[in-house]
Amino acid sequence: MSQATLGSGPYRNSSLFSGYYLDERVADLDDWESDDEAEAAFEALRELWELEGEYVASHGEDELIDQWIGEVLDILGFDTISEGTLPGGGGYVDRLLYESREARYTAADRKQNDDREGMFSGASALLEAKQWGHDFEARFSDERPYRDASHQVKYYLERTPSDLKWGILTDGRKWRLYGTKDYETQTYYEVDLPELLESGDLQQFKYFYCFFRPEAFTEVAGTSFLETVWTESETAAQELGEDLQDNVFTALRVLGKGFVESNDLAIDPEDESARAELKEQSLVLLYRLMFVLYAESRGLIDPEEPSANAEYHENFSLEEVRSDIIERVEGGDIESGAAFREEYSEFSTTIWNRLSRLFELIDDGEEALDIPPYNGGLFDHDDHEFLAENAVSDAAIAEVIFRLSTTKNDEGEHVPADYADLDTRHLGSIYEGLLEHEFRIAPEAGMAAVAAEGGQVWKPADEVSVADAVETVDGGGLYVVNDEGERKATGAYYTPDYVVTYIVEETVDPLIDEIHADLEADGLARSDTEYFRRFYDRVTDLTVLDPAMGSGHFLTKATGYLTEQVMSVVREQEIQSYDEQEFRRDISKEVIYGVDINGMAVELAKLSMWLETLAADQPLAFLDHHLKSGNSLVGSDITEVLSEDNGDDGGQLTLTQAFARVRQDTLEHVMELMADLLAYDNETLEDVKSMEELYDEIREDPLYKRLFELANVHTAEEFGVDVPEDAYEQMASAIEDERDWEAIREEPWFKSAQTTAAEQNFFHWELEFPEVFFDSEGEKMGEAGFDIVIGNPPYVTHGGKQDTTDKSKLLYYDAVYESSEYKPNTFALFYELIQDVCKLGGRISYITPRTLLDNQYMKNIREILVTNSEIQCIIESDYSIFKNVETGRNVIGIFKKVNDVRSDHSLRVGTISEPMDLASSGTQNIKQDYFLNTPEYKFTVKNNLELELYDKLKTCGKPLGNFVTVNNGVNTGNAADVLISNEPTKETHRRFIEGKDINKYTITWRNLWINYDPSLKQRLDPDDLNTRQNKVDFALRSPELFEDNKILLRQTADKPVGAFDDEGYISRHSTHILRLKEDVSIPLLVILPIFNSSLLQFAYQILVPEKGRTFAEVKATNVRKLPFIIPEQSQKSNKPTNVTEEVLNSDKSGRELAEEISTNGNTRAALTQSSQAITELKNSALNVSVGC
């Protein structure tokens, strides 16, 4: 947002920092402890102000710098260089500020050597000065590459080295700080210096001193005071969002209950549709309140004229209502809600009536109060009759407002939550968690929410103590819950901002670079007006899609980033007529597309986009044509519903050809209307109303609707709807005639298809977004599809025992998607979907679980990706990116859709261990061809050297399965209590070990015994077992598995670890048993040290990259595939190696033994020196040479 956050205190903060952090926490920083230095500067500046204050307004800019600004900088402790020319030319800054004289001397030397990059790199900040009283947002009258002073500073910062991170803009009175961490030009921190000096308050003065002195910019241990404030402000905003996220669940419940009780609504516990309607309308009201809190906090609804401002605050302002509520309930029982019932009536609707007037004011506008009509549908009475007809009591709505708009400070007091601190991404995360929840009616005993594994779950109230209850609901009352019984989920799939930023920038930048390259190839310079015109046309021709958009996080980020790309070109122009908010709105209207199966998610995404593009003098942008509800995975391409064939010998058109003509004519008409729709400026209420009417006209076009219905029939067939063989012939012949089509609509199969379409939320991409797929004449474009597809698709595994997905939908997935293997996961289906909706040359990026890389059931989607796209980048996280969510590790993939993958194409791969690694992750290149030659097209993030080593191993060695058999141990099944004991009581008892007893080279027997008697299976009675099964179920395996010498492996591990067993242990199924094949004469004692070497561990991690995974498991099939090399001399000898004998006979601990073995060789050095296969063992210990 470009609007300022007004502050009544010592500073004005426009989203650069967190207002809450500045008020509550900044004083805790060590750098704030500077009273002595601050007081000395305070007194010096007050003395200077007494001398110069009465003259500053009459000074010109240069004189003001000499007599006032320069003196202030001197008192603060800066050394300066005047009028430093930008490194690339194109302007100069008034002053470069340095932390010390030595730093200035160094910069001056660089200046003399014409090293302007170095001169700027060493500066603490740049400073741009203006005449006293200058309006920083006023357009310059002369031609410059920036339209006003705030854009000027941003322009300068963009053209200086990255080491220079801060800019200061001042007219002597206002001192404004800009950073480089945000796209926005109106993101800053500002103080009024004379006002602070005249206040006489040292602590308030420190909001100038601590932020503008040299020490504020100086990095110590990798960070500076300003960067610390910025980083911790982000943390504070995140904490605020998490606090409000918890509150909003209570707010939704209270609001739903308020609607029921205030209006005597009869909600049947079994009436799912009534509960859904109540939730939907409650969410709409919460969205409205969020919009107003955000807009008021940013000064977007705040009349400037004093009398209008007073009128608004007295009769409409939500902030005033909130302040009154906080004052009245503080000190009462807020947690239970009693405080609100004590202070407010449960019958009066005074607050509701005030809110209704406020919403009407926002919807329609009021010129006398300088409030434009925002419209947009969110506040429309006709669209939300429920809210117009039902009110909520003062007690309930007061609690709702309180929950939504307060937080606790460090002292535990309730204070107003500053929505200005929250980005749209924070707001989205607050409300997105509600989308999968529903209202339910509590049973007679009531329900109570308790903390559980990072989240909160509902339990019957009589099973929960008062102390443990987070929230309680009486019997018959409403509570908010998801399918898992959770009040608040243990985690959220809301994508962290650093990931969203990375994905957006990595997909957008290549296309922006292409545009620049094309324009420069045409001989245009960025300073040319024609350059900007063509650049902007190309940018607004782009199409960016999130097919599972949720709250619109990726789309708002893309809007902001594309706007900044446009502004970077604007600042090169010699014209000031461009408006950043106008660009933002145009991009949101023309470039951004999104789909979500949840209708309220679509409304939340619209709200996020409205807040992202909100302007104080314009209505909310029209977005209905690009943000839509539907199941992205289910639908038909209208061009494929009926394919064309040739005319008959008489030259007559066949029905399918006739249909194709109707389809083309209809889409040509629709495209004409869509062009008219996009032609509106979207700047006035009349524009928005006209767009709404025209969009309704498009959707109601008779032929257009028939195309949707026909596509519904085509899709419904895959859901099992029985459609006659001649159905398409009937529809093709009737589609142009209204009466004939009405007859088709009466057919039972047709009705069934339309019902299925409504139930399953069919979404037909070509019909929903015709401008993306068809030209102005209704013909399918050669480069049809979206330029950029980004997002975080849902991760839902279908087909399991707990899966409640409609079986017909699973049949559809199996029929339509090649990636629907075994238990299909939706993220794989989304990856396949985008092959159809992304254009050739388009960019694709998702964040998904890392199972994409190597899971055997992801084979088909990997094949699709590796053969239909040039993979640009694969980044794996070795931690779970999503907080408190059981997704395991994640992977970010970036792809470019192509027809033919170049044989020499390389991609970047890498691994990140923490969020900060992503922007600077150390990636390396590997050839994509490698994936084509791996089993099951497995992806890897290993580098070329590691892959070369692995290939060498495969070439030189043979699969381990050629030498040994690999089997599991005994499965004790439901008889474990009978089979296993701590002492032997029968002759059939044998020593027993489990996987956890096996370490590298050693076995630790824990005095466990197993009754190894196969006849027990026939003699035991199921009633004697601790089982619900009606049978005895266990498997002791063949005794030969255990009697011979063997190597035992632990199954639950992220790497194979082996130990030699010549004691005849019986091992559990949590172990693997390696035994020599009959025709192999190599001793196991030769195989074991090679198996345990880091060489084989390296090979295993290439084959199965599960290192660090919580539930990693060594599978027998992977052990058999390990490339294994037997030293030549060992193949000729039956004697164990000396090193192995020493290890087995040693009294050393398992850890010491492991260390001894692991130091017996150097993998890479051996390969480099001899080009032979490598082993971790010393050749001297083995007394062999290893060759291929």
Average pLDDT of the chain? 85
438 occurs within a structural domain? yes
Indicate whether 516 pLDDT > 50: yes
Tokens 């088909």 label which residue? 860
What is the per-residue pLDDT for 959?
Answer: 92
- pLDDT tens for 267-297 read 888 888 899 999 999 999 999 999 899 888 8
Examine the fold and report which residue of 441, 470, 488 is the final residue of a domain before the chain moves on. Answer: 488
DSSP element (H, E) containing 239: helix 225-263
User: How many Å apart are CA 619 and CA 291, to the nearest integer?
Assistant: 13
787 occurs within a structural domain? no
Tokens 């060498």 label which residue? 952
Contact status, residue 853 vs residue 876, Cβ threshold 8 Å: yes
For the entire predicted model, the pTM comes to 0.78
Per the structure block, which two tokens stand in for 779?
């013909």
What is the per-residue pLDDT for 575?
Answer: 59
Instruction: Say if residue 755 is in the same domain as residue 803.
Output: no
Could you list the beta-strand ranges (E) of 913-1062: 924-927, 958-959, 964-968, 980-981, 989-993, 998-999, 1002-1003, 1008-1011, 1046-1050, 1058-1061
Contact status, residue 1022 vs residue 1081, Cβ threshold 8 Å: no
Which is nearest to 788 in space by CA: 555, 602, 606? 555
Indicate whether 1068 pLDDT > 90: yes
Instruction: Say if residue 360 is in the same domain as residue 454.
Output: yes
Residues 6+ apart with CB under 8 A from 1022: 1029, 1030, 1031, 1032
- pLDDT tens for 318-346 read 999 999 999 999 989 998 899 999 999 99
User: How many Å apart are CA 763 and CA 749, to the nearest integer?
Assistant: 20
Contact status, residue 14 vs residue 187, Cβ threshold 8 Å: yes
DSSP element (H, E) containing 38: helix 35-52
What is the per-residue pLDDT for 489?
Answer: 53
What is the per-residue pLDDT for 1143?
Answer: 43
For residue 1175, what pLDDT band results from cuts at 50, 70 and 90? very low
Instruction: Say if residue 666 is in the same domain as residue 798.
Output: no
Q: How far is CA 932 from CA 895, 957, 1013, in A?
A: 16, 21, 49
Which is nearest to 1087 in space by CA: 951, 901, 962? 962
Examine the fold and report which residue of 889, 906, 941 is the final residue of a domain before the chain moves on. Answer: 941
Q: Give me the CATH number covering residue 910.
A: 3.40.50.150
For residue 920, what pLDDT band results from cuts at 50, 70 and 90? low
Instruction: Say if residue 765 is in the same domain as residue 806.
Output: no
Q: 744: burial class by Cβ within 10 Å (0-12, 13-18, 19+)?
A: buried
- Least-confidence region, from 30-44, 73-87, 108-122, 414-428: 414-428
- Least-confidence region, from 152-166, 287-301, 606-620, 1052-1066: 606-620
Examine the fold and report which residue of 749, 780, 811 is the final residue of a domain before the chain moves on. Answer: 780
List, as one string, the DSSP characters of 566-631: HHHHHTTSS-----HHHHHHHHHHHTEEEEESSHHHHHHHHHHHHHHH--TTSPPPP-TTTEEES-
Tokens 């995974």 label which residue? 1109
Q: Is 1054 helix (H, G, I), strand (E, B) or coil?
A: coil
Per the structure block, which two tokens stand in for 1182?
């083995």
Indicate whether 1144 pLDDT > 60: no
Indicate whether 739 pLDDT > 90: yes
- pLDDT tens for 157-191 read 988 998 999 999 999 999 999 998 665 667 899 99
Greater confidence, 597 or 1142? 597
User: How many Å apart are CA 831 and CA 790, to the nearest integer?
Assistant: 10
- Tell me, rounded to whole angstroms, the distance of Cα 1072 from its chain centroid: 40
Q: Could you list the residue range(s) of the whole structural domain that residue 446 is in?
A: 233-488
For residue 707, what pLDDT band results from cuts at 50, 70 and 90? very high
List, as one string, the DSSP characters of 788-836: EEEE-----B-SSTT----HHHHHHHHHH-TT--SS-BHHHHHHHHHHH
Instruction: Say if residue 1054 is in the same domain as residue 1181.
Output: no
Give me the sign of the Cα torsion angle 604, 606, 610, 612: positive
- Average of pLDDT values for 372-397? 88
For residue 415, what pLDDT band results from cuts at 50, 70 and 90? confident
Range 766-769 contact pairs with CB under 8 angstroms and sequence separation of 24 or more: 766/637, 766/638, 766/639, 767/638, 767/704, 767/707, 767/708, 767/711, 768/595, 768/628, 768/630, 769/593, 769/626
Instruction: Say if residue 1065 is in the same domain as residue 1104.
Output: no
290 occurs within a structural domain? yes
Q: How far is CA 164 from CA 14, 146, 150, 289, 737, in A?
A: 21, 20, 17, 40, 69
Instruction: Say if residue 1038 is in the same domain as residue 1053.
Output: yes
Instruction: Say if residue 272 is in the same domain as residue 204.
Output: no
667 occurs within a structural domain? yes
- pLDDT tens for 56-102 read 999 999 999 999 999 999 999 999 999 888 998 878 899 999 999 99
Greater confidence, 458 or 37? 37
Contact status, residue 161 vs residue 136, Cβ threshold 8 Å: no
Q: 479: burial class by Cβ within 10 Å (0-12, 13-18, 19+)?
A: buried
Instruction: Say if residue 1058 is in the same domain as residue 1100.
Output: no
Which amino acid makes up residue 720?
A: G
611 occurs within a structural domain? no
User: How many Å apart are CA 261 and CA 8, to the nearest integer?
Assistant: 40
Q: Is 1078 helix (H, G, I), strand (E, B) or coil?
A: coil
Residues 6+ apart with CB under 8 A from 202: 35, 38, 39, 42
What is the per-residue pLDDT for 616?
Answer: 62
Per the structure block, which two tokens stand in for 414?
């309730």
- Average of pLDDT values for 660-666? 83
Query: Which of the residue ranges 143-147, 944-948, 1034-1038, 1099-1103 has the most confident prediction, judged by mean pLDDT?
Result: 1034-1038
DSSP element (H, E) containing 877: strand 869-877
What is the per-residue pLDDT for 645?
Answer: 45
Instruction: Say if residue 875 is in the same domain as residue 753.
Output: no
> What percent of the chain has pLDDT above 70?
88
What is the per-residue pLDDT for 5?
Answer: 44
Q: Give me the CATH number covering residue 115.
A: 3.90.1570
514 occurs within a structural domain? no
Question: What does the CA dihedral 467, 473, 474, 479 come to, rounded to 10 degrees?
Answer: -160
- Average of pLDDT values for 378-389? 88
Q: Is 244 helix (H, G, I), strand (E, B) or coil?
A: helix
Greater confidence, 1159 or 161? 161
What is the per-residue pLDDT for 931?
Answer: 87
Instruction: Say if residue 699 is in the same domain as residue 820.
Output: no
Buried b (16+ CB within 10 A) or exposed e, 1052-1080: ebbbbbbbbbeeebbbbbbbbbbbbeeeb
Instruction: Say if residue 695 is in the same domain as residue 797.
Output: no
> What percent of the chain has pLDDT above 90?
46
614 occurs within a structural domain? no
- pLDDT tens for 19-49 read 889 988 999 999 999 999 999 999 999 999 9
590 occurs within a structural domain? no
What is the per-residue pLDDT for 1182?
Answer: 32
Per the structure block, which two tokens stand in for 678?
């996009």
Q: Residue 785: left (phi > 0), alpha (psi -120 to 50), or beta? A: left
- Give start and end residues of each alpha helix (H) in 53-185: 61-64, 70-76, 101-112, 116-121, 149-158
Indicate whether 1127 pLDDT > 80: no
Task: Name 980's bridge partners.
Answer: 1010
How many structural domains does the chain have? Answer: 6
